[in-house]
Amino acid sequence: MTTEDRTPGSPTEAADAEMSEARALRLQENLARIEELSKRLTAALTHRKQADPALAGPAPDVYMKAATAYIAEMMQNPARVVEHQVNYWGKTLKHYVEAQQTLAKGEFKAPPDPGPKDRRFANPLWDTHPFFNFLKQQYLLNSEAITTAVDDMEALPDNDRRRVEYFTRQIVDMMAPTNFLATNPDALEKAVATDGMSLVQGLENLVRDVEGNHGELVVTLADREAFKVGENLATTPGEVVYRNRMLELIQYTPTTDKVHKIPLLIFPPWINKFYIMDLKPQNSLIKWIVDQGFTLFVVSWVNPDHTYAGTSLDDYIRDGFLRAMAEVRRITGEPKINAVGYCIGGTTLGLTLAHLHNAGDASVNAATFFTTLADFSDPGEVGVFLNNDFVDGIERQTETDGILSKLFMARTFSFLRSNDLIYAPAIKSYMMGEAPPAFDLLYWNGDGTNLPARMAVDYLRGLCQDDGFAKGQFKVFGKPVSLHDIKLPLCAIACETDHIAHWRGSFNSVRQMGSDDKTFILSESGHIAGIINPPSKNKYGHYSNDAPVEGPPEDWLKAATFHKGSWWPRWKDWLAARSGPLVKARQPTDSLSHAPGTYVTATPAD
């Protein structure tokens, strides 16, 4: 249409005017909404509970050590430092000149982009638009320079090096241009396309999260209305057959006419909830085990409040592990059981088994450890949080609260994968105004639990910092136990990219156990996906090796055989061989409530 067609009073001109008026009205409404939300946000932030400063970041000595090491490097090896600077400035100026030359030609485009590719910069504008491309390239060059400088600090001890590298990476990731509205093309494009409504919705999401977490900013990862435990999650039929102040014991309803004689008891971690093993029927480890013909019991731990402040690891062993084992034997009439421990549940199962051996109790026939660390001489990535600056702060905070709040643990584990679990969800929620996805795994991830104050300190001091189990110094009921005291047949499953219980540490833990019958399996993927890996998905493979579990873990892996598909069937064969003959299936009796029970849905005050 030409300008001549737009005569005054024409339908086209009237429509344009009406559209402009509508957009102006929407803008006014959005501004009013923003003002209202800003007031709510300010009010919500005032409810933030003051926490020990040590929980907000490492002590200043981390930065002092880094600065001292860099100065020492300058003094001892000035040529390397100069090389770093020349390399950095050379790349920076080269890119600047290329960008200028491209614009000087009158072309509104970016210079050739050599990469590397980074999924944070998926929007095509990062490669084609001169402004966004310049930001991206400069950020990547700066990141490379900082990382290289830290990597080449030879004066830092290994523990300090790991901490400096980790916290440097946190700063680098936090400063990515994608994390800021003015330099995020996805957010800007959507704001324009929606007349700012995406920003209003993002602010609504931000206010919701701050209000819902008592003044703390915790990004909602999944749609909280999409799932309900017991209705569309944790639906495998079963009954709560025992309850005390520490746990509910669930017996699952058999799906086969015959079951193996020796029952199986699973101890999940109490750092989070057991239904990670029973999200949906198609990926439920619990349902799959029942379908293989095992009598299955699973512990559902209490979510403690401040009244559990004095609860210790001994209490978890006495009133949790030993009591659940006794109840399974009583209910089934069997003198022996098989047991599984997952993560900290595996660590504490190991302590329990060592205690039972020293007490002359052979009631556990065989044990399985999922992603379990018992030797903490090398704790892996989580080791950056195990120095006194953090642990002292945790101890002070728990003395005040009676618990280690789920908030602190969730934040700690999220920062181990900050781009995936903090920044990317925050961008989608707060900048793009998107609703969180209906994703069962992320829903579970946000359904955290507290830890009793004394138990948390017992674990962090005695096991993690002092490495007491591996050294034979950690005491159960007043008597020291060691890894060598674990004598029964055992199978351990570790995960290749586990950032919580790294597989080499799991291997070294099993290597030191005193059993003559040890099997080690290494699954692909991480702490959750490597374990919750149903055969029907045919997604992640695994490694096995018939050689003894000894020597360096790298040598074991080098000689191992890779198998496509899940490790579940391999473990099932191992377990079946140690579970006795088939007998008539056992039905749960004396039900206190239907599975998944009441403890898993309880919401104690933090």
DSSP per residue over 269-291, as a string?
Answer: -SSS-GGGGGSSGGG-HHHHHHH
471 within a domain of the structure (yes/no): yes
**399-430 CB burial, b ≥16 within 10 A, e <16:** eebbbbbbbbbbbebbbbeebebbbbbbbbbb
Cα–Cα distances in Å, from 309 out to 55, 272, 344, 458, 528?
A: 19, 18, 19, 12, 29
How many CB atoms lie under 10 A from the CB of residue 319? 15
> Looking at the structure, do residues 103 and 190 belong to the same domain, yes or no?
yes
224 within a domain of the structure (yes/no): no
393 within a domain of the structure (yes/no): no
Contact in structure between 253 and 239 (CB atoms under 8 Å):
yes
Of 199, 230, 257, which residue constitutes the final position of a domain? 199
pLDDT by 10-residue block (mean), the chain, 606 residues: 53 66 74 86 87 82 79 78 81 83 79 81 92 92 90 83 90 94 95 89 94 88 94 97 98 98 98 96 97 98 96 98 98 98 98 98 98 95 90 94 90 86 94 94 92 96 97 97 98 96 97 97 96 93 96 97 97 98 95 97 78
Query: Amino acid identity, residue 473?
Result: Q
Contact in structure between 391 and 461 (CB atoms under 8 Å):
yes
Q: Does an H or E element contain 153, and which?
A: none
573 within a domain of the structure (yes/no): yes
Residues 6+ apart with CB under 8 A from 216: 48, 49, 210, 407
Q: Which CATH number does the domain housing residue 346 bear?
A: 3.40.50.1820
> Looking at the structure, do residues 483 and 352 belong to the same domain, yes or no?
yes
Of 199, 219, 246, which residue constitutes the final position of a domain? 199
> Looking at the structure, do residues 193 and 91 belong to the same domain, yes or no?
yes
Of 182, 199, 216, which residue constitutes the final position of a domain? 199
Q: Round to whole Å and give the CA distance between 321 and 346.
A: 11
> Looking at the structure, do residues 177 and 252 belong to the same domain, yes or no?
no
> Looking at the structure, do residues 166 and 242 belong to the same domain, yes or no?
no
> Looking at the structure, do residues 192 and 304 belong to the same domain, yes or no?
no
Give me Rg for the CA atoms of the chain.
Answer: 28
Phi, psi of 242, rounded to the nearest 5 degrees = -160, 150
Which bin fits 360, alpha (ψ -120 to 50), beta or left (φ > 0)? Answer: left
Q: What is the pLDDT of residue 4?
A: 47
Q: Round to whole Å and give the CA distance between 315 and 304.
A: 13
Q: Round to whole Å and give the CA distance between 25 and 19.
A: 10
> Looking at the structure, do residues 266 and 365 belong to the same domain, yes or no?
yes
How many CB atoms lie under 10 A from the CB of residue 602? 12
Domain total of the chain: 2
Cα–Cα distances in Å, from 375 out to 86, 261, 289, 325, 524?
A: 43, 33, 29, 25, 22
Q: Map tokens 């006014």 to a residue.
A: 28
571 within a domain of the structure (yes/no): yes
Q: What is the pLDDT of residue 402?
A: 95
Task: Name the residues annotated as catalytic.
Answer: 343
Residues 6+ apart with CB under 8 A from 59: 387, 389
> Looking at the structure, do residues 189 and 244 belong to the same domain, yes or no?
no
> Looking at the structure, do residues 245 and 192 belong to the same domain, yes or no?
no
> Looking at the structure, do residues 490 and 542 belong to the same domain, yes or no?
yes
User: What's the half-sphere exposure (Cβ side, CA atoms, 13 Å) at 367?
Assistant: 31
Contact in structure between 498 and 479 (CB atoms under 8 Å):
no
With H, G, I as helix, E, B as strand and everything else as coil, classify residue 178.
helix
Q: Round to whole Å and give the CA distance between 355 and 257.
A: 36
> Looking at the structure, do residues 334 and 481 belong to the same domain, yes or no?
yes
> Looking at the structure, do residues 195 and 275 belong to the same domain, yes or no?
no
93 within a domain of the structure (yes/no): yes
| Closest among 373, 331, 328 to 350, alpha carbons compared | 373
Q: Round to whole Å and give the CA distance between 510 and 561.
A: 19
81 within a domain of the structure (yes/no): yes
Domain that holds residue 539: 238-377+467-601
